[in-house]
A and B are shown apart, each in its own frame.
Chain A
């Protein structure tokens, strides 16, 4: 039997960062609020209430679609997707069926440094459902509590073509998409809290065959890792079925983190008939060419291009450049540092090293860093010029970060500016050799380790102000081992 090949397509749902919900004036931000407090007649689905389209959500969707190279038809409409579930207050979800806001684009992503492209079928707009709460597991709980705070939050669906060929590609595709959404400022990229969700369709076929195999939809993956693990599990499961002469059933399966396995949820026969029809409460949407061009003009630099540019323009490593462009705020911080005169590679090291560690510890986003980019740049410049030691620089950064003061001020107050004046330094070097004659002799007779105590003596004599690199150099010269 020919080797089996996986065919994978992802459907990604992204909550939009609008101020209000998709069809009413309630806040789109719903986390941490008392149950059912962020609601109104429209998102509660009360009889008589009507939807009104959120213009910002439409614009964000079009911007995303444009960034993915999609076509924006002039005429679009909303449809009702009908099904019963307690988290769906109207008994239907307002979505888009046959005339979505956009069609036909592609997403570029990288796998092990290799550029790939995946087709985008469509990007459309719909509304999120509410949430259900149970005592323990849904199947054993005596009750379900309905919270409609999330109901009606704008949800953008990005449907990918079945262009992926291995489970390893899936998280990379999703990372690239998440990165794009972050750079567009339309989604917060939080998979754990579900503001970014991913379902996958996967089938297997003998390599070389054109027709697709029977596909299985996999849900419930809330991290990059679980996405890949679920798809790898499906490849193993479906391969075993096919290789033992069986047939894969078309069905929906859910990923169980506990069992590290997918579990059947419903078969094709149980699949719902959603009875889509045009939403009569909303007039068709006409998207003017002027609006499309206006939105196109507002697009940010594509993240992959930004990464390549930072790498090439500033001589950064591939990984450094990738890390700095994962989120727009990181790229902005870095570019602001460079603009303030920090040498780019040092700037990248300081940002990704000490600053990121401080931010992580303080649970602060870099945008809110108490040390702004220009100030860190000033510190980095001093360290690079040898005016401050790396160690002192890191200490000063930590303190400036903690107390919200300028690093440069702290350096001045503490007298941490290193003395690099050679005349002064030579006097301290002489003093050190007088104080530690044995070490000096040892060093002269070839014991490199004897230099350490001598440098320490110079630093001590200077009250800590001596530039240690310069001190070593001068000691080596004086003791006849210059350039060694």
Chain B
């Protein structure tokens, strides 16, 4: 039993009752990370000094403030795409090795404001491009439930660290499923907020029109606490919504009685593994038993979503990554014979194969003469996907589906086949194209591997996602299970 097995509210009670201090809690998280992460690879670096300094501050706040924030003194980790002032931030890429941002991402600053203690920067696929964490330039992260398997990506380090109890909660980013997929594979809760619900300022961009920061945590309530801290308008990010966030905690106890939940027919078609189907059907029965009405719905544009996504996201990538030119970041190529050669050398050496593939793809689809056929057409498909969702949300309160068609797959299984890897996100990426809210919650296991259920809510419908997720979580009753080898 470790302190890190506890939920945030349990830890909060212990901290307030002086059963343990924030410094002791941080020490335990750091000790676990330093001793256990060798077999997991979830951390790119621990931030011991920063963590202890923040923990000391948290202890003073816990002692001095009447009502310190819920996250005060809680050890968390940040996906390495989030800029942390003075702390190396690489996005899992060689080209950003040694980059110490002079500023904090808004989400990092907001969690610091609420007293959270940063214990480290989490591994991820390079620039968040990948579904298995195998595209990290530094190390693969493995699945804590089976070290032969991937944790999912791209926020694999963030998910694995929470599952293995090396951090209480973490932040990830979800561009096509990068929070929900690893949450499902690692057996934790992951939230993808609606586009514009959370600031992207200081988030190293993958695809700007799709990226959202979201929490990974052991419980729906933990995820809600982190989400409540980071959500809301930010004047530094013009794409954030001015709509108030409201009280998300209330949703956790509202139940699903009287709700109509839609099951998208298209999400249960080809490729769904039996074990995943069984867990999902179990979750459906619980929800019905709790008073929800389940109806089948159709999202006919789903079949085109993957293709549209792999045009739009790479297009934005090709532009977003142009600043990584080897001049201001990365080792640079001072001996190059020309400016062009310097760019080519730095980018060929600094970027991994998947990033290069997407930059090439994105450059192509935006080129003169191809723009209309690819980019413009993909944007039209995107509009259709969004209209599909708007239509069904007139009839249902939320949608439920498996988060992924399979549980965690084996390391190396899909690395040689990019299209198979891309298909991993088929059930998650439509929500990013539409900008709606989503969540993955652990619903059970198949052959010892966790299986997540995805809840999709309307735009700014985070409360609805949390509400349904909380019911699944209670019925599944699996969140206290700890992967073998991390339960000491």
Q: How far is the CB of A302 from chain B (nearest CB, A)?
A: 35
Q: Are A280 and B323 in contact (CB under 8 A)?
A: no
Q: Is A82 an interface position by the 8 A CB rule?
A: yes
Pick from B103, B236, B329, B366: contact of A82, CB under 8 Å: B366
Chain A 33-58 residues near chain B, CB threshold 8 A: 41, 44-53
With contacts A46-B102, A51-B238, A53-B238 taken as known, whether A91 is within 8 angstroms of B322 at the C-beta atoms is yes
Q: Is A318 an interface position by the 8 A CB rule?
A: no
- Chain A positions within 8 Å of B83 at CB level: 46-48
Nearest 7 Cβ contacts at the A-B interface: A91-B322, A275-B366, A280-B208, A280-B209, A47-B204, A48-B202, A48-B83
Q: Is A86 an interface position by the 8 A CB rule?
A: yes
Q: Is A205 an interface position by the 8 A CB rule?
A: no
Q: Which of B82, B202, B363 has the most C-beta atoms of chain A within 10 angstroms of its own C-beta?
A: B202
Q: Is B286 an interface position by the 8 A CB rule?
A: no
Q: Are A52 and B366 in contact (CB under 8 A)?
A: no
Report the Cα distance A372→B216, complex, angstroms.
69
Name the residue on A nearest B201 (C-beta): A50
- Chain A positions within 8 Å of B208 at CB level: 280-281
Q: How far is the CB of A451 from chain B (nearest CB, A)?
A: 79
Pick from A86, A273, A281: contact of B239, CB under 8 Å: A281
What is the size category of the interface that chain A forms with chain B? 20 to 34
Report the Cα distance A283→B233, complex, angstroms.
14
Question: 30 interchain pairs (CB within 8 A)?
Answer: A41-B101, A47-B91, A47-B205, A47-B324, A48-B81, A48-B82, A48-B83, A48-B101, A48-B203, A49-B202, A50-B236, A51-B238, A52-B238, A80-B319, A82-B318, A86-B325, A86-B327, A89-B328, A91-B319, A92-B319, A92-B322, A275-B367, A276-B366, A277-B366, A280-B207, A281-B208, A281-B237, A281-B238, A282-B239, A283-B238
Report the Cα distance A49→B204, complex, angstroms.
8
Q: Is A75 an interface position by the 8 A CB rule?
A: no
Report the Cα distance A47→B202, complex, angstroms.
7
Per-residue contact bits, chain A 258-297, to B (CB 8 Å; 1 contact, 0 not): 0000000000000001011100111100000000000000
Per-residue contact bits, chain B 53-86, to A (CB 8 Å; 1 contact, 0 not): 0000000000000000000000000000111000
Q: Which of B207, B323, B368 has the most C-beta atoms of chain A within 10 angstroms of its own C-beta?
A: B323
- Chain A positions within 8 Å of B205 at CB level: 47-48
Report the Cα distance A1→B371, complex, angstroms.
43
Report the Cα distance A90→B321, complex, angstroms.
8
Name the residue on B nearest A277 (C-beta): B366
12 additional contacts (CB under 8 A) given A50-B236, A51-B238: A45-B328, A47-B101, A47-B324, A48-B201, A48-B202, A50-B200, A52-B238, A91-B321, A92-B322, A276-B366, A280-B239, A281-B200
Name the residue on A nearest B328 (C-beta): A89
Pick from A48, A146, A273, A282: contact of B204, CB under 8 Å: A48
Report the Cα distance A297→B119, complex, angstroms.
57
- Chain A positions within 8 Å of B236 at CB level: 50, 52
Name the residue on A nearest B207 (C-beta): A280
Report the Cα distance A280→B195, complex, angstroms.
12
- Chain A positions within 8 Å of B321 at CB level: 91
Q: How far is the CB of B63 from chain A (nearest CB, A)?
A: 34
Name the residue on B nearest A80 (C-beta): B319
- Chain B positions within 8 Å of A80 at CB level: 319
Q: How far is the CB of A274 from chain B (nearest CB, A)?
A: 8
Q: Is B11 an interface position by the 8 A CB rule?
A: no
Q: How far is the CB of A48 from chain B (nearest CB, A)?
A: 4
- Interface on chain B toward A: helix, strand, loop, or mixed SS? loop
- Chain B positions within 8 Å of A146 at CB level: 327
Q: Is A84 an interface position by the 8 A CB rule?
A: yes
Q: Are B327 and A283 in contact (CB under 8 A)?
A: no
Q: How far is the CB of B309 from chain A (nearest CB, A)?
A: 14
Q: Are A82 and B322 in contact (CB under 8 A)?
A: yes
Name the residue on A nearest B209 (C-beta): A280
- Chain A positions within 8 Å of B201 at CB level: 48-50
Q: Are B238 and A91 in contact (CB under 8 A)?
A: no
With contacts A275-B366, A280-B209, A283-B239 taken as known, whether A84 is within 8 angstroms of B322 at the C-beta atoms is yes
Report the Cα distance A369→B375, complex, angstroms.
58
- Chain B positions within 8 Å of A281 at CB level: 200, 208, 237-239
Q: Is B360 an interface position by the 8 A CB rule?
A: no
- Chain B positions within 8 Å of A277 at CB level: 315, 319, 366, 371, 375
Q: Are B363 and A275 in contact (CB under 8 A)?
A: yes
Q: Is B304 an interface position by the 8 A CB rule?
A: no
Q: Which of A48, A52, A80, A146 has the most C-beta atoms of chain B within 10 angstroms of its own C-beta?
A: A48
Q: Is B174 an interface position by the 8 A CB rule?
A: no
Q: Is B126 an interface position by the 8 A CB rule?
A: no
Q: How far is the CB of B174 from chain A (nearest CB, A)?
A: 16
Per-residue contact bits, chain B 74-111, to A (CB 8 Å; 1 contact, 0 not): 00000001110000010100001001011101000000
Q: How far is the CB of B35 from chain A (nearest CB, A)?
A: 32
Name the residue on B nearest A91 (C-beta): B322
- Chain B positions within 8 Å of A86 at CB level: 325, 327, 339
Name the residue on A nearest B103 (C-beta): A41
Report the Cα distance A50→B105, complex, angstroms.
11
- Chain A positions within 8 Å of B363 at CB level: 275
Q: Are B238 and A275 in contact (CB under 8 A)?
A: no
Name the residue on B nearest A89 (C-beta): B323
- Chain B positions within 8 Å of A276 at CB level: 366
Q: Is B343 an interface position by the 8 A CB rule?
A: yes
Q: Are B322 and A90 in contact (CB under 8 A)?
A: yes
Q: Is B235 an interface position by the 8 A CB rule?
A: yes
Q: How far is the CB of A127 from chain B (nearest CB, A)?
A: 14
Q: Are A52 and B235 in contact (CB under 8 A)?
A: yes
Q: How far is the CB of A95 from chain B (nearest CB, A)?
A: 13
Q: Is B316 an interface position by the 8 A CB rule?
A: yes
- Chain B positions within 8 Å of A91 at CB level: 319, 321-323, 325
Q: Are B237 and A50 in contact (CB under 8 A)?
A: yes
Report the Cα distance A310→B318, complex, angstroms.
56
Q: Are A282 and B101 in contact (CB under 8 A)?
A: no
Report the Cα distance A276→B323, complex, angstroms.
16
- Chain B positions within 8 Å of A51 at CB level: 238
Name the residue on B nearest A279 (C-beta): B208
Per-residue contact bits, chain B 296-340, to A (CB 8 Å; 1 contact, 0 not): 000000000000000000011011011111011100000000010
Q: How far is the CB of B319 from chain A (nearest CB, A)?
A: 5
- Chain A positions within 8 Å of B329 at CB level: 47
Q: How far is the CB of B259 from chain A (nearest CB, A)?
A: 32
Report the Cα distance A86→B342, complex, angstroms.
11
Chain B 207-227 residues near chain A, CB threshold 8 A: 207-209
Report the Cα distance A53→B105, complex, angstroms.
19
- Chain B positions within 8 Å of A89 at CB level: 323, 328
Q: How far is the CB of B214 from chain A (nearest CB, A)?
A: 16
Q: Are A47 and B367 in contact (CB under 8 A)?
A: no
Per-residue contact bits, chain A 126-156, to B (CB 8 Å; 1 contact, 0 not): 0000000000000000000010000000000
Name the residue on B nearest A52 (C-beta): B238
- Chain A positions within 8 Å of B105 at CB level: 48
With contacts A48-B101, A273-B367, A275-B366 taken as known, whether A82 is within 8 angstroms of B319 at the C-beta atoms is yes
Name the residue on B nearest A45 (C-beta): B323
- Chain B positions within 8 Å of A47 at CB level: 83, 89, 91, 96, 99, 101, 204-205, 323-324, 329
Name the residue on B nearest A86 (C-beta): B327
Report the Cα distance A106→B105, complex, angstroms.
45
Q: How far is the CB of B404 from chain A (nearest CB, A)?
A: 26
Name the residue on A nearest B208 (C-beta): A280
- Chain B positions within 8 Å of A41 at CB level: 101-103
- Chain A positions within 8 Å of B316 at CB level: 280
Pick from A48, A275, A282: contact of B319, CB under 8 Å: A275
- Chain A positions within 8 Å of B368 at CB level: 273, 275
Q: How far is the CB of B238 from chain A (nearest CB, A)?
A: 5
Report the Cα distance A52→B324, complex, angstroms.
21
Report the Cα distance A50→B203, complex, angstroms.
9
Report the Cα distance A45→B339, complex, angstroms.
19
Report the Cα distance A46→B201, complex, angstroms.
11
Q: Are B239 and A84 in contact (CB under 8 A)?
A: no
